[in-house]
Amino acid sequence: MKAQAAESRIEQLCVEHGLKMTGQRRVIARVLSEADDHPDVEELYRRALSLDSRISVATVYRTVRLLEEKGILERRDFGGGRARYEATEHGHHHYHLIDVDNGRVIEFEDPEAEELMRRMADRLGFEFVSLRLELFGKKKKQSASAATPHRKGETT
Amino acid sequence: MKAQAAESRIEQLCVEHGLKMTGQRRVIARVLSEADDHPDVEELYRRALSLDSRISVATVYRTVRLLEEKGILERRDFGGGRARYEATEHGHHHYHLIDVDNGRVIEFEDPEAEELMRRMADRLGFEFVSLRLELFGKKKKQSASAATPHRKGETT
DNA sequence: GTATTTGCAAAGAATTTGCAGTTAT
DNA sequence: ATAACTGCAAATTCTTTGCAAATAC
């Protein structure tokens, strides 16, 4: 029997959104599903190529744009010119702490932040739509302080 | 007597930073000093040209980059591809609410936000460096709600 | 079958840069 | 005097697009 790769999480979403599933889209969907970081188009292209050589950057650009429009992906800008992407996480939003020394990205949650900004939007006479929040910091040398709560992981 | 234009605020900063004050820099510094919005390079170039025709876009790009490196200017990204600039404000930081319907930008302050993020950085084992915070919203129809506190102004 | 999607290479948009000439200090 | 600055046009970088061939449904 053939170990036919199971439908990736993002592939499912594509189908639910009525997208035509071509081979290249399936590969890109899989790459995105398996990514736990914030790859840019170049990187997605590289990863996709290693799974299937019949893919062009143009298609990656087109796919990524399409998926963003469908709300399946979110575009990020951590500085450095190129857009980064990550799968939309339903519910619990998270934000990013960028280590200014090496560009590494740490995700964290903070329900308070969104609450605060919802109230601020309201006070300014606006309906909250979304929040972009990026924290830049330098790693502390060493400290006797406790663990690192709310931390979700460190990636790129 | 000649009404020699007084040294603009940003020109002063340039001098303090030991920058060579050429005619074009003086003009750009003045444009920046007088701006109360968030112009992109194109717009800065347009405004500079209207004061003095001997300026090229390349110089605007170079100047804006230089001033950013010196910490005199801050680069913003409100989406839309081009970088926007505004003079660094010492002390009371402010953030931006972008009206998703028309791109207009409203500045607001919120000491709580920075406090919250300082604590978060600390908990994650980082030294707070800076915070990028942008709120996206839609103007509410009309409401019986009170005034708009903390509001600093609406620009572009 | 047919409307979509793809690859390729060319086009665009924003920003940077090499170089020869100009200028502030 | 001379190191820094400028304009110009060419080069870079990221992203989009036109078109003919390929493909999903």
Question: pLDDT value at position B3?
Answer: 47
Q: What is the pLDDT of residue A134?
A: 93
Q: In whole angstroms, what is the distance from residue A85 CA to residue A95 CA? A: 13
Per CATH, the number for A9-87 is 1.10.10.10
Work out the mean pLDDT of chain B and round it to a whole number. 89
How far is it, in rounded angstroms, from Cα B94 to Cα B114?
10
**Nearest chain B Cα distance for residue A16, angstroms:** 27
Closest CA to A105 of A83, A78, A131: A78
For residue B48, give both structure tokens.
Answer: 């500079």
CB A99 within 8 A of CB A135: no
Which bases of strand C sit closer than 7 A to a protein CB?
A: 4-10, 13-18, 23-25
What gap in Å lies between CA B151 and CA B107, rounded to an integer?
Answer: 7
**β A126-139/B126-139 pair status:** antiparallel
A1 confidence band (pLDDT: 50, 70, 90): low
- Position B13 scores a pLDDT of 95
Q: Hey, are the CB atoms on B135 and A128 less than 8 Å from each other?
A: yes
Searching chain A, which residue's CA lies closest to the CA of residue B81? A81
| A74 three-class SS | strand
Predicted confidence at residue B100, as pLDDT, reads 86
Q: Specify the pLDDT at position B80.
A: 81
Could you tell me which residue, A94 or A143, shows the higher pLDDT? A94
Residues 2-31, chain A: which have Cβ under 7 A from strand D?
20-23
> Which residues on chain A are in Cβ contact (under 8 Å) with B126?
97, 99, 135, 137-140
Residue B154, chain A, CB below 8 Å: the answer is no
What pLDDT, on the 0 to 100 scale, is given for residue B46?
97
Q: What is the pLDDT of residues A85-110, one digit of tens each?
A: 999 988 788 999 999 888 889 999 99
Report helix angle A41-51 to A23-34, nearest 10. Answer: 110
pLDDT confidence of residue A156: 72
Contact B138, A127 (CB under 8 A): yes
Residue A95: per-residue pLDDT = 94
Nearest protein residue to the C1' atom of C7, measured from CA:
A56
pLDDT band at residue A125 using 50, 70 and 90 as cut-offs: very high
Digit-coded pLDDT (tens) for B122-154: 999 999 998 999 999 999 987 555 555 556 667
**CB-based contact A123 B148, cutoff 8 Å:** yes
Q: What is the pLDDT of residues B38-76, one digit of tens each?
A: 999 999 999 999 999 899 999 999 999 999 999 999 999
pLDDT at residue A153, as a whole number: 67
A127 to B140: CB separation less than 8 angstroms, yes or no: yes
Examine the pLDDT at A31 and tell me if it is beyond 70.
yes
Give domain limits for chain A: 9-87, 95-137
- Each residue's pLDDT tens digit, A4-25: 568 999 999 999 999 999 999 9
Which of B129, B140, B145 minimises the CB distance to A136? B129
Q: What is the pLDDT of residue A140?
A: 92
Cα distance between residue A48 and residue A32, in whole Å: 9
Residue B108: closest CA among B98, B94, B89: B94
Q: Inform me whether the C-beta atom of residue B82 falls under 8 Å from chain A C-beta atoms.
A: no
Could you tell me where the beta strands, DSSP code E, fall in chain B? 73-76, 84-87, 95-99, 105-108, 126-139, 151-155
Residue A43 CA and nucleotide C12 C1' are separated, in Å, by 23
- What's the 3-state SS for A15-72? HHCCCCCCHHHHHHHHHHHHCCCCCEHHHHHHHHHHHCCCCCHHHHHHHHHHHHHCCC
Measured CA to C1', the nucleotide nearest B21 is C24
Q: Provide the pLDDT for residue B78.
A: 87
Confirm or reject CATH 3.30.1330.200 for domain B95-137, answering yes or no.
no
**Chain segment A44-88, per-residue pLDDT in tens:** 999 999 999 999 999 999 999 999 999 999 999 887 889 999 999
Instruction: Give the closest nucleotide to B24 (alpha carbon vs C1').
Output: D6
Predicted TM-score (pTM) of this structure: 0.84
What's residue B124's pLDDT? Answer: 96
